[in-house]
């Protein structure tokens, strides 16, 4: 039981280590693969992100878009005109004229004066969630492709070995460590002998 648990933990740690190495790479081939596969899976990933964001919005008043910080005004243009508030609730906003409403931008359940400097934490969280989901989707796809490529190579090697078992005369001679490489004359002689055998058949 302990061995199985340790084996599972080792697999999880190995997966997380591979995933960390994958997202921290910067080489051009990985980037190209990410762009191509990311484009193909864009619709799926966007739908998944929207589901996750909607789930997050249940627990946050005003949703993720409501996670904003209004910075102090650094210039007169960031201060609302006299008689106007910096932030309006939905109920207060509905009582404004259409021309007055145009001065404000909605962030979650509030309307904030458009001239204000706003730190949009919701957009940051959205970007991080999107990045992580895209990264793990690409990582999983590449892992699956690699797995099937390994299966394909193993099947080829197995088929080759089975063929050589049936036709041992065609198995290439094992290369001895430190043995001199065959000369051009020796290679030509081998080819001649093989051609003779083929004609005799």
Q: What percent of the chain has pLDDT over 70?
A: 72
Q: Confidence class of residue 104 from pLDDT cuts 50, 70 and 90?
A: very high
Encode pLDDT of 137-185 as tens digits: 778 878 888 898 899 899 998 888 888 888 777 777 666 666 667 777 8
Encode pLDDT of 28-42 as tens digits: 556 666 676 666 666
Task: Using the predicted structure, report yes or no on whether residue 59 has a pLDDT greater than 60.
Answer: no
Cα–Cα distances in Å, from 108 out to 60, 90, 121, 123? 10, 10, 11, 11
More confident: 96 or 188 = 96
In the block, tokens 């793990």 appear at 136
The span from the CA of 113 to the CA of 145, in Å, is: 50
Give the domain 2-71+117-155 fold. 1.10.1200
Long-range contacts of 55-58 (CB under 8 A, 24+ apart): 56/125
Domain boundary assignment for the chain: 2-71+117-155
The span from the CA of 158 to the CA of 155, in Å, is: 5
The chain-wide mean pLDDT, for the chain, equals: 77
pLDDT for position 154: 92
Encode pLDDT of 80-103 as tens digits: 888 898 889 888 999 899 989 999
Task: Using the predicted structure, report yes or no on whether residue 2 has a pLDDT greater than 60.
Answer: yes
């Amino acid at each position: 039981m302990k061995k199985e648990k340790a084996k599972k933990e080792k697999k999880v740690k190995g997966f997380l280590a591979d995933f960390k190495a994958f997202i921290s790479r910067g080489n051009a081939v990985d980037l190209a693969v990410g762009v191509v596969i990311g484009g193909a899976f864009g619709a799926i990933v966007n739908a998944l992100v929207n589901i996750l964001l909607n789930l997050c919005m249940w627990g946050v008043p005003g949703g993720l878009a409501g996670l904003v910080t209004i910075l102090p005004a650094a210039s007169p243009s960031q201060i609302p005109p006299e008689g106007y508030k910096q932030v309006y609730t939905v109920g207060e906003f509905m009582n404004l004229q259409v021309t007055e409403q145009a001065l404000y931008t909605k962030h979650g359940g509030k309307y904030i004066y458009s001239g204000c400097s706003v730190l949009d934490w919701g957009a940051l969280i959205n970007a991080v969630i999107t990045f992580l989901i895209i990264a793990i989707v690409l990582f999983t796809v590449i892992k699956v492709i690699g797995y099937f490529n390994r299966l394909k190579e193993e099947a080829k090697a197995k088929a080759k070995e089975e063929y050589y078992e049936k036709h041992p005369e065609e198995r290439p001679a094992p290369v001895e460590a430190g043995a001199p490489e065959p000369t051009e004359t020796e290679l030509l002689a081998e080819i001649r002998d093989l051609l003779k055998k083929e004609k005799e058949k």
